[in-house]
Chains A and B, each alone.
Chain A
Amino acid sequence: MKLPGATTTWARLISRRLLHRPSQSQLQSQAHRSSSSSFTSSGVLSQRRCCSGSSSGEDSDGNQDEFHDFPGAKAGFTSKLKYVPETPAEAVPCFRILDEYGRLIKDSHMPEIDKALVLKIYQNMVTLQSMDSLFFEAQRQGRFSFYLTSFGEEAITIASAAALSDDDMVYAQYREPGVLMWRGFTLNEFANQCFSNDLDYGKGRQMPIHYGSAKLNYATVSSPIATQLPHAVGAAYAFKMDQKPLCSATYFGDGATSEGDFHGAMNFAAVLEAPVLFICRNNGYAISTPAHEQFKGDGVVCKGQAYGVRSFRVDGNDALAVYATVKAARKMAVEESRPILIEALTYRVGHHSTSDDSGKYRKGDEMHHWKTMRDPVVRLRRWLEGEGWWDSDADQQLRAETRNEVIAAMQRAGPRMKQPLANLFTDVYDTIPSHLRQQEKELRSTVARHRQDYPFDVPL
């Protein structure tokens, strides 16, 4: 157990610049003889040299420039009993570039971004919407077991991915297929995973939407909340040690900030000075639990300072603002080897997943408002149209094309066989140990005797 308070005596409250530091025993005996006030006149104080630079200010006890070397923190003193308020007087403002109508806000921090890049961002957002709509329907029709949409949050994942290097390692929660899509994961690849077919990289072992790609530097998704955050710190530390100009980016929702892994990862990243972007999609709900039942304080952005982590708050429904924020944050993370927290404020327009009915805990008006008035895709389209880079004909054509591509991908992926039975036993370890070989042998014998008990689309 470390108890700094127990080992810190008043006698140790001496300036760091004390030229002739008395021995510990001398100081302790003085401390025992005197109260703290008489201690200050006992001669020890006269040997002090004040340290400048303290922010003790008006409340300090008269030695405004002085701080004391508690091992736990450097702080000035005050004779006033004051507390630190639970929230700052004003909430941290949310950075945006486009207003609700897709108009550029005057004097806003517009990032350097060319037409081709913004169009690609927009096209990806539309493709993601198409995939979500059709995959969601496919799940409802029973073609696969589960799905989860990104409706309302397309700007966060796609614009952030556009601002990252494709070599940056991504550790996603699960509502971030937009990042993968940006990096080139095809509709076929998404469909293969959801159908658990023979081409699924995950070999049919995980539920739909648990994508992963080594080629695209996107760690395979796992369901537990926030467990990927410390992984991102470890990977970032590896980049730093290998002197690669890269960072890792990890995505998570507002609910994840309650997990111990969030705390641990932020703290580790700060202390170990790891280049990580913590990108929080604060969409207001963790399944049904609203943010105000998740945490107190000024959302998520305020948590960064507690860990000594620089933080941004951005409108997650403004693709340009997300792009500008992540671009700036990435530069800081990589060049200064530091973690950055980004809170992207948004709204989960869809249900949590196909297993959820959010009408039971959210008002219809609220959902309708966000879907019709605050949609990030519409907002970016309006800006593109204002710039003369896009029009309704192009939009209709794009939507028709992506719809056809998604349908074609499902038609290709759906009828394929599942993964072969052998893949039940591989990859538990690097090689198959003897007890698993034995279990495979016994299972195959059982299947041979009771073939009707087992799915026929799994090759034996």
Chain B
Amino acid sequence: MGGRRASLPLVSRLCTSVKPRNNWVQKRSFITAKDLVVEEQPSGEEEKRAVTNKLNLFSAVNQALLTVLESDPKSYVFGEDVGFGGVFRCTTGLRDRFGKHRVFNTPLCEQAILGFGIGLASMGNRAIAEIQFADYIFPALDQIVNEAAKYRYRSGNLFNCGGLTVRAPYGAVGHGGHYHSQSPEAFFCHVPGIKVVIPRSPAQAKGLLLASIRDPNPVVFFEPKMLYRMAVEEVPVDDYTLPLSSAEVMRKGSDITLVGWGAQLTLMEQACDEASKEGISCELIDLRTLIPWDKELVEASVNKTGRLLVSHEAPLTGGFGAEIAASITESCFLRLEAPVSRVCGLDTPFPLVFEPFYMPTKNKILDAIKASVKF
């Protein structure tokens, strides 16, 4: 992992910002976390849900997978190198615990991983497929777009593959170049029939992943690999889900609304801190689910602040920020006091040595906040 963000103090601050609007502890049952490298910090005797472990993001993902494998015998975890624990360690210990028939390596063929998962899910199983990097998901695009997304619709609901969840690490890491850095979420946001979910932190990852796996629709779940080890926070040991298609206000503000998802929120939160020093009050929203997205929440916020900034690592043109900008312009036109601002990756392939130039950095966001407020 690159050190560029590693020095940011914000990750630990995320721990305290995980206060969802809804009661996120929807189901309680004690989960052992003995397979995880965690520091146990029981915090409070009064409620079971208060029992948390300090986990990084990959361990939170691991705990979610463990929870599902333990609670549902018809669940399967598979993908390239999943058996030994995965190249990002997300499946560590699972094969030993649940056996090689429920947690297994597959041959190196993304389209078959997806196709196999669709077939498995269509028989009433929870098929949790891993694509090793989001950059390598494209051979599976046909299976996702033409098969998974339309499986229920085209059969008139005779069949569905709602038990399918595709996990894939995405995003910049400081040294990934073209093929270990991309953020392809917008491709999938153009596909009716699937959901796209991206968590920003370990506790979010566990709750959203459990919700995605249990959702009766196929979900593409992108994990910010930059945060796998870097983001550490208290994660409830219980079995809990966070709602899909429900965005979350991470911090309240009155001058401008910022919308983002995944790893980008760490930079956006930093920009908010800097802006506040200059007297600008930012409202920061984590979209969490990109399709179907929580338009109502964003709309309500923009109607309050009168300004909107969207930021993502993916290229500007045709990025999901464009959809948000268009929608909000349409619905909040008379309330807007400045054009909707997009701070995104450049319309180039994701570069190597130029990554710091390509990225929608904190100061690019800060500049855009100021420009919007001064417009």
Contacts and interface: CB of A to CB of B under 8 A. Distances in A.
A165 to B, nearest CB: 15
Contacts of A171: 119
A214 B112 CA distance: 23
Contacts of A429: 152, 193, 195, 217, 292
A239 B123 CA distance: 9
B300 to A, nearest CB: 14
Interface stretch (B140-148, B225-233, B360-368): B140-148
Interface string B82-119: 00000000000000000001101011010110111111
Contacts of B101: 241
A203 B135 CA distance: 36
> Which size bracket describes the interface of B in this complex?
35 or more
A232 B152 contact: no
A237 interface: yes
Interface stretch (A107-115, A121-129, A258-266): A258-266
A346 B302 CA distance: 64
B120 A430 contact: no
Nearest to A260: B111
A206 interface: yes
Contacts of A327: none
B337 to A, nearest CB: 26
Contacts of B157: 203, 426-427
A264 B117 CA distance: 12
A268 B118 contact: no
A402 interface: no
A268 B155 contact: no
Q: Which of A213, A219, A238, A263 has the most CB of B within 10 A?
A: A238
Contacts of B296: 434
B14 interface: no
A442 to B, nearest CB: 12
A272 B124 CA distance: 19
A402 B125 CA distance: 41
Contacts of B143: 227, 230, 261
A428 interface: yes
B107 A271 contact: yes
A260 B245 contact: no
A268 B152 CA distance: 24
A248 B119 CA distance: 10
Nearest to B164: A234
A97 interface: no
Interface string A420-440: 000100111110011110000
A101 B44 CA distance: 85
Contacts, number: 156
A264 B162 contact: no
A260 B115 CA distance: 11
Nearest to B152: A427
B149 to A, nearest CB: 9
A235 interface: yes
A231 B115 contact: yes
A220 B109 CA distance: 24
Given A220-B159, A267-B107, A428-B153, A233 B115 contact: yes
B142 A227 contact: yes
Contacts of A239: 123
Q: Which of A220, A224, A231, A436 has the most CB of B within 10 A?
A: A231
Given A234-B122, A234-B123, A202 B112 contact: no
A53 B360 CA distance: 61
A433 B290 CA distance: 13
Contacts of A177: none
Nearest to B125: A238
Contact of A230 (B102, B116, B153, B159): B116
B295 A203 contact: no
A169 interface: yes
Interface string A127-139: 0000000000000
B112 A230 contact: yes
Contacts of B193: 428-429
A430 B106 CA distance: 29
Interface in A329-345: none
Nearest to A210: B154
Interface in A251-287: 260-261, 263-265, 267-268, 271-272
Contact of B109 (A169, A264, A428, A436): A264
Interface string B288-328: 00001101100000000000000000000000000000000
A206 B112 contact: no
A261 B155 CA distance: 21
B115 A227 contact: yes
Contacts of A248: 119
Contact of A202 (B120, B142, B154): B154
Given A230-B112, A234-B122, A430-B216, 17 more contacts: A205-B154, A212-B155, A212-B158, A220-B154, A220-B156, A220-B158, A227-B147, A230-B116, A231-B118, A234-B123, A235-B119, A248-B119, A264-B107, A271-B107, A427-B153, A430-B152, A434-B295
Interface of A: 169, 171, 200-203, 205-206, 210, 212-214, 219-220, 222, 224, 227, 229-239, 241, 248, 260-261, 263-265, 267-268, 271-272, 423, 426-430, 433-436
The 4 nearest A-B residue pairs measured at CB: A234-B119, A230-B115, A264-B112, A231-B119
5 contacts: A219-B155, A230-B119, A233-B116, A235-B122, A435-B295
